[in-house]
Structure 1
Amino acid sequence: MPDFQFDQAIEFYRNKIKLPTSGWTDIWQEQHSHAFVVAGAAHDALVEDFFNAIQKAKWEGGGYDEFRTRFDEIVAKHGWAHNGAPGWRSKIIYDTNITQAYNAGRYQQMVSLKEFRPYWRYRHTSIEHPRLEHKAWDGLTLPADDPWFHVHMPQNGWGCKCRVDSLTRTEAKHIWDQAGKSGPDTAPPIEWEERVVGKNGSKPRTVRVPKGIDPGFAYNPGKAWLEPHTVPPLQGYDAVLKERGTPWPTSFKVPALPKPTKIPADVILPTETAPEVAVADFLDVFGASMEMGAAFTDVAGSTLAITKSLFQDGRGQFKWLAQPDKVERLRYVNMLAMTLIEPDEIWWVWEKDTADKGKWRLKRIYLRAFEIEGTNEYAIAVFKWGSNGWTGSTTFVADHKKEESRLAYFDKQRDGLLVFKK
């Protein structure tokens, strides 16, 4: 068992959503980087007790031995009928959660040092009852960005103790010289096989899994955590949600209302401003123009293309020509630009596109609160960016409204996962 006390691993574990489930496969692969589940633990209180027991045992107490004792107490308290012997079940729960937290934190550290340690080496560390596929990967050295690590980053199965080390160019060359190689290895081909999961929980289903990896482990836990593009729960979890009568839960408390940014009244363009002038003003903020676009990277690290096409339809016509009633919105483009550049919050939410075979689309929501100098007006600007373009809106809230009312309105704009907060 890895012994760690570094922030990345602790944050990975503590930020997980605590979910009751009928089975471990009710949620799938990357979703486990954002949710804490115990197979068959279908009640909130039971899941929370396990979550807190692991956290206390690892970071405040006596490790697994303490959790083993707490496991029996929790089972007795809730009258939980679990599969497998208590010793085996408690060990699986504890080891899997701690090991994956370590792996996720380790991945974040390696990514941050990738410029200096650009090669990663797979290490098979199990001695007793080794998995032959994992043993065959031992010593495999690849560039850090090789896609092979997307599905082969440990943990690669129940009880897997494999790890990945990062190497400097000098360290990698020394290994290649000793092996008579001239450079990094070539990733082995991925062979896929079909396996049935969910036999002991939700409705069984067939999934594709790379050979050598247990079902549900064919993903990179750290990458899934750093890039939280995890879609809502699979169909197998619907029954649990229906029983609880609650939506997909969140792992955070509602943030407080951000302090509004005071801006001069002339940030809002005059009513008579021509649409083309408003668009040019917006583009100019990002170093773009009507003739040339620009790439803009937001504070969360996402890059957006800023061009005049943001204001055009699929035929290249400016949108206000077909919808003259929306010209008024262009008066607030400077506030929308400010929201995109320096947001109070950024949220990512997955939305189902019913027009495109029900595919999930990621939408980014940028929020910022403003106070207009000289008017005492309070405004909320919302800039939404998705695969189908962007939408923007600025809503003014009457000055006499109380703080609670402002927070309630601001909170309505929040959706999905909070990825940035000023």
Structure 2
Amino acid sequence: MADLHTGGPDLPQERRLSTEIPGPRSRELHARKIAAVAQGVGTVLPIYAVAAGGGVVVDVDGNSLIDFGSGIAVTTIGNSAPTLVAAVNEQVAAFTHTCFMVTPYDGYVRVAETLNRITPGSHDKRTVLFNSGAEAVENAVKIARAHTRRPAVVAFDHAYHGRTNLTMAMTAKNLPYKSGFGPFAGEVYRAPVSYPFRDQGVEGPAAARRAIDLIEKQVGTENLAAVVIEPIQGEGGFVVPAPGFLTALASWCRANDVVFVADEVQTGFARTGDLFACDQEGVVPDLIVTAKGIAGGLPLAAVTGRAEIMDAPHVGGLGGTYGGNPIACAAALAVMELIETDGLVGRARDIGLTMTERLKAMRAVDERIGDVRGRGAMIAIELVEPGTRTPDAELTRRVAAGAHAKGLIVLTCGTFGNVLRFLPPLSIPDQLLTEGLDILDAVLKES
């Protein structure tokens, strides 16, 4: 099976089931995982990968599955894209690490320059690099507090910001993220988000006013350092706020010297059919947090923002041993070049149109699909009891399991556990996208 270890876009773009899912070799490896890895590390689908590329993941049993997950929105440009592989190999041959805080290097600076150029807004910007989205969110809060000299932070219902102590406090969902891990960091407050499916008739500006009223009364603008929000919520259920919600919040923040932080960890780098989700409404955040799709699978994250805010922390106050690792920086530069040269923003829009049209057709004949939402290649369906808005988490689990068994990788999410989310790599061929939707349609009819 040595040929299976050749990944990237040259991998045959086909769904192939050689065994049941998971197959015998995956089951053997999973038994070893259970014996060796802490049980707190869960697994959505215990197939063990040996290759991935285009729109497929191939496992140790020779099964080739259609990928609607992208490693949770990480391999947006596709796994092992040749340009990325070449850039990484060149950097590995040169050096793997020096620590930017000890002896810096060009790659870090080039990534910062690129992010300063492509993120929303034409103002003077600065960037700092980290390893993960949670680390970057936490540092965005540090930067906002240093700039404003205020302690409080507002996050939103259904938010997900990470698994560190501070970002767990900012995350809304208890299980599996927070239960048993407290006490959490203080001075974190929660406001209601715009959730159109569950906020019937509440327009974006009105939903923003509802949140602002709560913030003013329960937190106080004089105490507030930052408002942190995902422009489209990820783990919370791919919730797309009603038009005008983000712009009203950002305007209020600007008027009250509160730092408006956009957490674009999942939505960034062409995923939503714009380079960043904020671009859809012309929202210019004070700070933008990026990770996941930034480096094609290598660990990298960033905070980019207004120079006067980013430069507030004292020298030595920001950093980390691995932050802006040279190999990850090389990968990020390749990713950002590919997004532009390969027209991936447009590709994400095309994928979104295909998926949305098909999913809305399914909803028209299936009352259990309460909502179809998302943008670009970040699309979801919310499953409910027929003719209601009552979440149906059990149906969601059945549909996900049925899709997995037929060779389609899908993910669930949502505060109520009733959302199926679809994050195909932008390199997925059209025929695999269509086949994946066919499988989903069939599984829904069987469930």
Q: TM-score, normalised by structure 2?
A: 0.22
Q: Which has the higher contact order (CA 8 A, sep 6+)?
A: 2
Larger radius of gyration: 1
Q: Name the one with the larger strand percent.
A: 1
